[in-house]
Amino acid sequence: MPDARGTGGVRLWRASLPHRHPRPSLVHLPGLGPHSTGRTAGQRLLQRIEVLGLSTTFDVWLVARRGFVPGGTTIADLADEHARAIRSRFAQPVDVVGESTGGSIALRLAIDHPDVVRRLVLVSAAAHLARQGERAQEEAAAEVRAGRRRRAAATILETTTRRPALRALLRVAGYALGRLVIGRDDRELARLIDAEDGFDVEEDLGRVVAPTLLIGGAEDGYYSPALLARTAARIPEAEHLELPGKGHLSAMVDADVRRAIRAHLR
């Protein structure tokens, strides 16, 4: 993996191709899934595809884990790792985009390490999970630990929306896809879920100093519209973009989201 640096459990690698003109640096933190650790060439390919809409405008850097997440890890621990990796690569603050669980890490990063974050974008993420999201992740972690990968995948996918018909369809898709949804290492997924289940920074949101854009779907089962709005209201200088009819996953791939991110970071 060329041009990758970092310390601790995380290193950064460049997704953008070299460009003759300097472009703003952007660090992208993905959500849970088969690509989240960036440990293999296949995972890094999925990460690169996810940021295609941004890599033409920004010098995009993605994250890869050096080793497995230890038991008892918290979102604050993960934010500390990312802060060390960013400091080791960049002399100045950078723009940070976090999606889903990556958004939780990015938010904790902005609170605990304001010196590394220039501007912040949170997509399908908030100060903590909604109660429906907490229950879904607790159930998914239990299924993973019991070796029932397809049930875990079904629970994870169906909770991405609150629409009953689509929930049923996504649950079937989860059973069919299984490991393609949850990734290769069951134990690591369960530990990351545990970390997010203990994540709640609502009382610390006033400490965010980076100009922030929060984007979320109105039909997201993990983060309710009220929770997203309350999170944005408690962050100084924050903007909130609600996407009608969109769920957790559709918000992350929406073309309007990419345009809003580019506008905010410019």
Residue entry with tokens 């990758």: 4
**Single-letter residue type at 87:** R
Above pLDDT 70, what percent of the chain? 92
Residue 225 pLDDT > 90: yes
Written as six digits, the tokens of 179 are 């490991």
Question: How many other C-beta atoms can be found within 10 angstroms of the C-beta atom of residue 206?
Answer: 10
Q: How far is the C-alpha of 26 from the C-alpha of 120, rounded, in Å?
A: 10
Mean local confidence (pLDDT), 28-38 = 78
Structural domain boundaries of the chain?
4-130+200-265, 131-192
Q: How far is the C-alpha of 156 from the C-alpha of 138, rounded, in Å?
A: 10
Residue 125 pLDDT > 80: yes
Q: How far is the C-alpha of 135 from the C-alpha of 197, rounded, in Å?
A: 9
- Could you tell me which of 185, 182, 199, 79 has the C-alpha nearest to residue 139? 182
Largest Cα span, the chain: 51
Question: How many other C-beta atoms can be found within 10 angstroms of the C-beta atom of residue 22?
Answer: 7
Helical residues (DSSP H) of the chain, grouped into ranges:
41-50, 52-55, 75-89, 101-112, 131-145, 149-158, 164-177, 179-182, 186-197, 225-234, 248-253, 255-265
**Angstrom distances, CA of residue 252 to CA of 102, 187, 195, 214, 248:** 12, 26, 22, 12, 7
Q: How far is the C-alpha of 191 from the C-alpha of 86, rounded, in Å?
A: 23
> What digits encode the pLDDT tens for the residues 134-153?
999 999 999 999 989 999 99
Q: Which of 8-22, 95-109, 168-182 has the highest mean pLDDT?
A: 95-109
Q: 53-57, 115-119, 233-237, 245-249: which has the minimum mean pLDDT?
A: 53-57
This prediction's pTM: 0.92
Give the three-state DSSP class for 120: strand
Written as six digits, the tokens of 29 are 């933190």
Q: How far is the C-alpha of 56 from the C-alpha of 237, rounded, in Å?
A: 27
The CATH code for residues 4-130+200-265 is 3.40.50.1820
